[in-house]
Amino acid sequence: MRLILIGPPGVGKGTQAALLESRLGLKPLSSGVIFRSEIDADTDLGHLANSYIKRGELVPNGVTIEMMAKRIRSEEVRKAGFILDGFPRTIRQAEALDTMLLEMAMPLDKVISIEVDDDVVISRLSGRMGCTKCGEIYHSINKPPKREGYCDKCNSPLFVRSDDQPETIRERLRVFRENTAPVRDHYQALGLLEVVDGSQDPEAVYEAIVDGVGI
Ligand code: ADP
Ligand code: ADP
Ligand code: ZN
């Protein structure tokens, strides 16, 4: 299965990708997660990416496409398929992906657009916390950990992303509207789009995705 999850920051893409992985064995490939691990590992790519991420801007297309292409072309991903989360985020990235998948004879099954109003994503991003070790996603109100500040699954400390601050959030929503909304329309024109109402609770969103994909 080859899926794309598209939607504004904070709509729940990472949360749904994790559910699809644990329940259906699909393999998430998140550009944001990959960038953050490059930043943590102090690599040149991490330094470059961080200079954009901390301002809520997009990392340039060239390096982003190269980074994702390397993974999409890997033997493992060819065999297992993928759920792309956070990529493609621009028309140029979408066209590069389409070309790559065409060359590999690996067509997309569906593109799922998770949609909600801005006020919902702002409140979701404002309480988001993530596990430093396993990546599990929490929320201070919607999904609090059992022990404050620590992961239910692996007991490691939780962290708040430095780009989940009010000013950066506003910029990321603007960037989404300008650059990523056209990607949604691109896949709609190709007949691949399924729209899911992201304002429901995570289980209902999950059901809607599974329904939309037809699995
Ligand atoms: P994205 O990957 O799209 O940026 P996340 O999956 O990280 O979004 O979710 C953003 C925040 O919203 C997290 O704190 C998460 O726990 C919470 N969240 C995700 N889905 C829902 C939902 N359906 N209802 C309420 N809160 C949610
Ligand atoms: P969210 O789902 O909350 O928007 P992500 O973890 O997907 O956050 O992305 C965090 C940041 O990483 C983005 O704001 C952007 O700076 C950068 N980034 C992630 N994916 C891409 C991409 N495909 N193209 C350019 N920049 C990206
Ligand atoms: Zn954990």
All domains in the chain, ordered by first residue: 2-115+168-207 (3.40.50.300)
Distance, in Å, from the CA atom of 72 to the CA atom of 101, rounded to the nearest integer, reads: 9
CB count within 10 Å of CB 76 equals 9
What is the model's pTM?
0.97
Tokens for 81? 């398929």
Using alpha carbons, select from 110, 85, 86, 113 the residue that is nearest to residue 27.
Answer: 85
Residues 62, 68, 69, 70, Cα dihedral to 10°: 110
For each of the chain's 215 residues, which pLDDT tens digit applies? 999 999 999 999 999 999 999 999 999 999 999 999 999 999 999 999 999 999 999 999 999 999 999 999 999 999 999 999 999 999 999 999 999 999 999 999 999 999 999 999 999 999 999 999 999 999 999 999 999 999 999 999 999 999 999 999 999 999 999 999 999 999 999 999 999 999 999 999 999 999 999 98
Taking a 5 Å cut-off on Cβ, the residues next to ion ligand 3 are: 131, 133-134, 136, 151, 153-154, 156
Residues 6+ apart with CB under 8 A from 173: 8, 9, 118, 121, 122
For residue 183, report the distance from its CA to the centre of ligand 1, in Å: 21
Distance, in Å, from the CA atom of 160 to the CA atom of 127, rounded to the nearest integer, reads: 8
What amino acid positions are annotated as catalytic residues?
A: 13, 89, 128, 161, 172
For residue 9, report the distance from its CA to the centre of ligand 3, in Å: 21
Closest ligand to the CA of 121? 1
